[in-house]
Amino acid sequence: MVGRPIGTAGWAGKAFSRKPLARIMRCSPGVRVFKALGSAVAVTLLATAVGSCSRGSPGSANHAALVRTEIVQLQKRQASVTLTGEVQARFRADLSFRITGRVLERFVDVGAHVNAGDVLARLDPTEQQADLDAATAAQAAAESQLHVALANFDRQNALLADRYTTQVAFDQAQETLRSAESTLESAKAQLGAAKDALSYTELRAGAAGVITKRAIEVGQVVQSAQPVFSLAQDGDRDAVFDVYESVFFGDFNGSQISLALVSDPNVTTTGYVREVSPAIDPKSSTIQVKVAIQNPPPEMALGSAVAGTAKANPLAEITMPWTALMSFGTKPAVWIVDPATKTAALKTVEIASYEAGAVVVKAGLQPGDRVVVDGGKLLSSGELVTEDGGNS
């Protein structure tokens, strides 16, 4: 007998081939075990998800926003402003010749220190010397005429006493004497004017100081009253500053200005505001302010650059780090932490000024308010917060 291979015709001829696979799996014991395990795993995963959702709820203290806060208080503040200026002489003069002429000699240059009476420049004195000679001769002639008139008057006076001359002759002699005296006075005045004109050919320093500007050369013809030198007189010194108009809005103390040499900050002194220009410079839009330097050190020479610092009167103001500043629409605002509920709320403020690393609050905060200074960029209104270290 020929045997049939196991698993071929036997399996094929049975009805098993026509049973649905699902029925076999439902009836299989191994499949039932697998289903039971799957149900248990599903329940475990569901419980884990529910627990996770419960722990991640916004109201949980374990997941409050971590921020850094600061309690604001009124602080004594003294604002200051520092500007750079230049040391100048308090008294300056433009020197010029009183007459017209050609420059014959020049004795000083810019930067030269001169004393009162020193000759700075000289004009050609030929014309003035000729006028002086003519005036001297005119005075000599007038003196001679006066001597003749005086002798004639004395003679007529003696003759009239003895009745040897007429009253008319005496009156004529007297008139001639008066005329000769007037002519002599006029000649003396002309001689004095000629001497002055000759002296005007020399330009002299009226006071001790430093020449800061020169506008002539030898051979140049200058007109009378044409400025040729600028003299900065020795003595009092001013620090001159170009100040922007906004600085005047502050309550600064102008009676005490600290001054320091830019090239050597160890050289310091003090001063006070002496003069404020009433007009604004149309080119720079600044106002010139002159500060009188008290006891200027020798190092603060003319033209030296100085730094002047003015301090405002002390004020009690609220300051906070600039990192605390947020915005509510177009207005500045800060996050305020409620100490009772530990929640954050956005509050608008008014800023007085912006400084390096801080802002000065003019209105909107009260002493004792706790503001968020770090970590407030992602906060939302009413959100629970906790401070670094657990103290909110």
Helix (H) or strand (E) holding 63: none
- What are the residues whose beta carbons fall under 8 Å from the beta carbon of 201, sequence distance 6 or more? 97, 99, 101, 104, 122, 123, 124, 125, 128
Cα–Cα distance measured from residue 217 to residue 224, given in angstroms and rounded to the nearest whole number: 15
3-state secondary structure (DSSP) of residue 311: strand
Cα–Cα distance measured from residue 309 to residue 304, given in angstroms and rounded to the nearest whole number: 16
List pLDDT tens digits, range 211-254. Answer: 999 999 999 999 999 999 999 999 899 999 999 887 877 777 77
Pairing verdict, β 221-222 and 202-204: unpaired
> Residue 16 above 90 pLDDT?
no
HSE toward the beta carbon, residue 228, CA cutoff 13 A:
31
Do residues 337 and 365 make contact, with C-beta atoms less than 8 angstroms apart? no
Helix (H) or strand (E) holding 128: helix 126-161
- What are the residues whose beta carbons fall under 8 Å from the beta carbon of 267, sequence distance 6 or more? 260, 261, 297, 299, 300
Report CA-CA distances (Å) from 177 to 138, 149, 245, 336.
Answer: 17, 5, 73, 108
Provide the pLDDT for residue 388: 66
Provide the pLDDT for residue 165: 86
> Residue range 95-111: average pLDDT?
94
Residue 81 CA from chain centroid, whole number:
8
- What are the residues whose beta carbons fall under 8 Å from the beta carbon of 240, sequence distance 6 or more? 85, 86, 87, 88, 288, 289, 290, 291
CB atoms within 10 A of CB 353: 14
Provide the pLDDT for residue 227: 95
Model confidence at 352, pLDDT cuts 50, 70, 90, reads: confident
Helices (H), the chain: 9-13, 21-27, 29-55, 126-161, 167-199
CA pseudo-torsion sign 245, 251, 257, 260 = negative
> Residue range 264-270: average pLDDT?
94
Q: DSSP state, 384?
A: B
Amino acid at 87: V
Beta-bridge partners for 177: none
> Residue 62 above 80 pLDDT?
no
HSE toward the beta carbon, residue 184, CA cutoff 13 A:
16
Supply the mean pLDDT for the chain: 82
| 279 compared with 19, residue with greater pLDDT | 279
Q: What angle do CA 240, 245, 251 make, to 5 degrees?
A: 90
List pLDDT tens digits, range 333-346. Answer: 999 988 888 888 89
